[in-house]
Structure 1
């Protein structure tokens, strides 16, 4: 199939990102607020089966990552699965992937901004959230290299905090007391639901794929960057989960309001609690930065094809970024963060991301060996895994996600009908 073309006059982005940038952007997207907040609800669902849920989420994420990386190498353009679905499955499926990503991740942006506010200044969470959105939008506006540099700092801080919590927990007397017990409290449905919730913590491994137009040597850089970032994140998550379970136990983790802070206190490292608080805020900033990057690039791609206002397809002549798309995304996120508490939208975000990657896996299935198709089992397992985890989420999240996708599909149908009447 033909490579995607850019709309005339929309401008081109500049290839400035290397392998280390790709790895850091992937880590910045994954090693974020998810690991600070997803463990407790996942433990409530899975009980002592938490580590099994983590493994299931990792397997699905791995399949998605391989499929996305092979597609990104073939179609190194901004937009990610929006482009892959359009080119491999047809315009509608690409549009649906883009719609789910933009709407779901816009809600996630606001949720991450509010997370920053709740840690930095709980009494003024909305004001801090808006300030964070404005500041990070300005960073993104100044160029993707500036974003990659800030992401390096954020990743370093968060990894240091997670490492300190893990070491304190693993070496404490609470851990040696054997609190990582295995009880018969895990159910199959609970393990699946927890895997769906933990998938949110992995989401972002292929963020660099949405920046494909800004990556040097994308055929080599993107697959390697995605694989390395996912591998590092999996090791970090596994170590953190084992260490926290070791000091809190499944029941203690399930009831924890701030799992990593509680684990530090239980391990006798009270001094770590403020550092964890700072780490959570910094992690949320890193997630927000990467989310704004990804959403703006998908917005750019959809605007080029006029699924969104075509003016959003403009590329800044100096900074080589989709500046109008970034400003539009930043404005919408700031308004939502200022007026509503959207943390409940995380469930929908997980549903939207799983639907997005289901389309990516279906797209990868159509690749030929000459185009770099992965083993057939990879996209097949990824597709089935995404659908199973999406509908294993809490019913309200699944229904809300399905409704939003249906609204997007209806909007597409109306647009096509109008275009047919007025060619």
Structure 2
């Protein structure tokens, strides 16, 4: 009797090289982190924020190295969702996938809301954001190559504007000294946790494991380059803002209807720079939403293949594109944007992302010696850092995030044991 072999699932096309991978990472990072996240952190940790930023960048670097090792050793779509399954357990992989979907869906919705505020502040922000997300979803559905071209343009605009602002701000006369206030250790660590979110876009590179050329070489290099570039850019932009507005000015700007960096440009009295920052803020939000849609759809694709999501999301189009997963994610994000608000979204994303990367580091610790690209201590530092910082976000967020993860695991258990 002839054995019938199960056909292998169709694979995604490898179309992304090193420059494209770095640009995809930067496109995921340089958005709400630069235009909103830095100011939120200043409101918590004041003049200590530059140190919190460096600590967050160091932790991101440890996680990046863990992610790079895993992506090189196991270059498939899905990121830590796939790594958890392979190196830990199905439950760990599912938990990572759930955390990724929760965190990044909220972040993408926040990016859509931010984009709506900058482009159409006179209209209902939630409704406009939902329509914008649907429009970006349609762009992603056209294919990775076209979306990658758009991403490149958005990243160039954003980076150029931030460098211009940083140079202008650093060389301007310093603002009046801010009122000093004592910063507690919990406040400092909470700010670090929130700033960590501003770096997590590099994980987008790992989720494209099936689409990157020469993944063992390209993925680690692209992830590390992305972390270095974004850390340097954040740092000079933060110092520029503190020099121009001071701690008090940035805290007030964070409560205004526009991004704090726009207020920095206005304070400098440079009209072309103000306009450029406004445009860059909008393009950055669009870039973040676009890249998050790409990453989320690939994780949903992997979960569909594994059976942790409906099998329909595992289907690829005739052109090897995960269209059903793309539209499923896009519609979900649009609904969050339509009915949700920005309050606590950043903290919720911080908690779930920290849990996600704690699992990433656990996976990296299980790698065989031949697959390791750096010492195990790097992954241990990443694990301890992520687990520790997750405890310093708002308690209500910890409870809500934990509850959603437990519910998801419960539903999975029931589904498996039917």
Q: What's the TM-score bracket when you normalise by the shorter of the two chains?
A: over 0.9
Note the C-alpha offset of 1:342: 4.7
For the Cα contact (< 8 Å) 1:168–1:269, is it kept in 2?
A: no
- Answer yes or no: is 1:348 the counterpart of 2:345: no
Give the CA deviation at 1:271: 4.3
Would you say the 8 A contact 1:112–1:285 is kept in 2? yes
User: Counterpart in 1 of 2:279?
Assistant: 278
Q: In 1, distance between residues paired with 2:416 and 2:362?
A: 24
What is the distance in 1 between the residues matched to 2:417 and 2:348?
29
Structure 1 residues 169 and 373 mapped into 2: Cα distance closer, same or farther (>3 Å)?
Answer: closer
Alpha-carbon deviation of 1:8?
Answer: 4.3
> Aligned residue for 2:91?
92
Q: What's 2:39 paired with? A: 40
TM-score normalised by L of structure 1: 0.92
Partner of 2:3: none
Equivalent residue number for residue 405 of structure 1: 405
Q: Structure 1 residues 161, 405: CA separation in 2 closer, same or farther (over 3 Å shift)? A: same
What per-residue deviation string (whole Å, max 9, x for no partner) do you get for residues 378-423 of structure 1? 11010111111111112222222222212122222222322xxxxx
Aligned to 1:108: 107
Which residue does the alignment assign to 2:322? 322
1-structure distance, mates of 2:61, 2:391: 19
Separation of aligned partners in 2, 1:261 and 1:273: 6
Contact 1:174 1:267 in 2 (8 A): no
TM-score relative to the length of structure 2:
0.93
Q: Secondary structure at the match of 1:172?
A: coil
- After superposition, the Cα gap between the structure-2 partners of 1:134 and 1:9, relative to the gap in structure 1 and judged at 3 Å, is farther
Contact 1:48 1:185 in 2 (8 A): no
* Secondary structure of the structure 2 residue equivalent to 1:61: helix
Partner residue in 1 for 2:302 = 301
Find the counterpart in structure 2 of residue 311 from structure 1. 312
Tell me, in whole angstroms, the C-alpha distance in 2 between the residues paired with 1:35 and 1:88.
Answer: 34
Distance change (3 Å), C-alpha of 1:396 and 1:271: farther
RMSD of the alignment, in Å? Answer: 1.7
What SS is found at the alignment partner of 1:236?
A: helix
Deviates more, 1:234-243 or 1:393-402: 393-402
CA–CA distance in 2 between the matches of 1:116 and 1:268? 24
Aligned CA distance change for structure 1 residues 255 and 394 (closer, same or farther; 3 Å): farther
Q: Which moved more, 1:304-313 or 1:136-145?
A: 136-145
- 1:291 Cα offset (Å): 0.4
Q: Distance in 2 between matches of 1:173 and 1:340?
A: 40
Aligned residues: 408
Give the unaligned 5+ runs of structure 1. 1-6, 419-423
**8 Å Cα contact 1:367-1:373 kept in structure 2:** no
Contact 2:28 2:288 in 1 (8 A): yes
CA contact (8 A) 1:365 1:373 kept: no
Of 272-281 and 389-398, deviating more is 272-281
More divergent stretch after superposition (270-279 vs 245-254):
270-279
Q: Could you say what secondary structure the match of 2:202 adopts?
A: coil
Spell out, residue by residue over 1:268-289, the C-alpha distance to the aligned partner (whole angstroms, 9 max, x if none): 3244333222211111101000
Structure 2: distance between partners of 1:390 and 1:255: 27
Residue equivalent to 1:13: 12
Structure 2 residue matching 1:213: 3-state secondary structure: coil
Q: Which sections of structure 2, spanning at least 5 residues, go unmatched?
A: 1-5
Deviation at 1:267, TM superposition (A): 2.4
CA distance in 1, matches of 2:412, 2:196: 28
Question: SS at the partner of 2:198?
Answer: helix
Whether contact under 8 Å (2:33, 2:198) holds in the other structure is: yes
Give the CA deviation at 1:161.
1.5
Q: Tell me the equivalent position of 1:143.
A: 143
C-alpha separation in 2, matches of 1:196 and 1:151: 27
Matched residues in 1 for 2:405 and 2:202: separation?
23
Higher mean alpha-carbon deviation, 165-174 vs 59-68, is at 165-174
Deviation at 1:36, TM superposition (A): 0.5
> For the residues of structure 2 that align with 1:8 and 1:297, how far apart are their CA atoms?
20
Whether contact under 8 Å (2:68, 2:220) holds in the other structure is: yes
Within a 5 Å distance, the mapping from 1:358-373 to structure 2 comes to 358-373=358-373
CA contact (8 A) 2:179 2:248 kept: no
